[in-house]
Amino acid sequence: MLVRTLHSATIKFPDVAANIVPVLMEFLSDDCEAAAQDVLVFVREAVQRLPHLRAVVLAQLQEVFGGIRSAQIFRAALWILGEYCDTKESIIGVMEIIKKSLGELPIVGSELRAAAGEEENEEFKEKDAMVDAKTKPRQLVTADGTYATQSALLAAVKSATDEKPTLRKFLLEGNFFIAASLATTLSKLVLKYSKLLGGKGDKVNGFAGEALFIIASIINLGKSGITKTNVTEDDLDRLGMTVKVLCDQWPGVEEIFLDKCRESLELMLEAKADTDRHEVETISKLDHLFI
């Protein structure tokens, strides 16, 4: 109730928003998911309806992003960042947050090494595909490509899950719906970054390459068998679609990803405002009748 009251006050009196936003953001890492959801509803409306406060709200959201523990709240916050971060600096900042929340990539290779008791090092992080066969945990893979000690590996992954970065933890628990949302966010970031830099150049290619590497790593994880549940066909289709979007650059894709989502949100907010207005008018009429 407190969050909703502050939400209403901020929308009606935008001048006080700068003071209220930091207070509300603290609820995103709260154990009460309902309160965190109310905050995100406020954040979503604020960045859409109060453009002069957008930079402040997004900066605050990035600051508290690492403290979010709910998958649903994490996914919604990720959508907001991907949708409204429009400057080069903010786009790069969101990409860094995503990479930090994923941890070492590729995920499968690093998890197998961790399960085998091997320490992480820079060589593994930068050249995972070139790891010497002697250091690879051969005993984990049988001749037909399945994991011979899969149950032991799953136990090791589960026991260490709580110590892992937030997004990595969600993925290892088998939450690939959030992975599909992440892929959409990455696509938006790449399209915006490309648009800002003119669509060509090593920086754009490098940024797109990072996004593709993340998505490919998640697809590999979903099929690996080391997560609690494998990726669903629906989520796999969405992940694959974003890869095609980034590689093929379909005509009209920018309009779909960068304009239509925001237009849909505006229509939804307008419809909600109309509904709220009618409810207030109805209550007012009923009160008048009883008086």
The residue with tokens 């080069």 is 88
Helix (H, G, I), strand (E, B) or coil at 143: coil
CA-based nearest residue to 77, from 40, 22, 23, 39:
40
Q: Which segment of 45-49, 72-76, 96-100 scores lowest on mean pLDDT?
A: 45-49
pLDDT band at 46 (very low <50, low <70, confident <90, very high): confident
Specify whether the CB–CB gap between 128 and 118 falls below 8 A. Answer: no
Hey, what amino acid is at 224?
A: S
Q: Look at residue 161 in the predicted model and tell me its pLDDT.
A: 54
Specify whether the CB–CB gap between 211 and 190 falls below 8 A. Answer: yes
DSSP state of 173: T
Task: Flag whether pLDDT at 43 surpasses 90.
Answer: no
Tell me the pLDDT tens digit for each residue of 4-34.
666 666 666 667 666 777 778 888 887 778 8
Task: Flag whether pLDDT at 93 surpasses 60.
Answer: yes
The residue with tokens 């207005």 is 277
Helix (H, G, I), strand (E, B) or coil at 141: strand
> Mean pLDDT across the stretch 266-287?
68
CA-based nearest residue to 187, from 215, 221, 156:
215
Tell me the pLDDT tens digit for each residue of 245-263.
999 877 788 888 888 887 8
β-partners of residue 147 are: 141
Q: Look at residue 253 in the predicted model and tell me its pLDDT.
A: 85
Task: Flag whether pLDDT at 73 surpasses 70.
Answer: yes
pLDDT band at 92 (very low <50, low <70, confident <90, very high): very high
Task: Flag whether pLDDT at 146 surpasses 60.
Answer: no
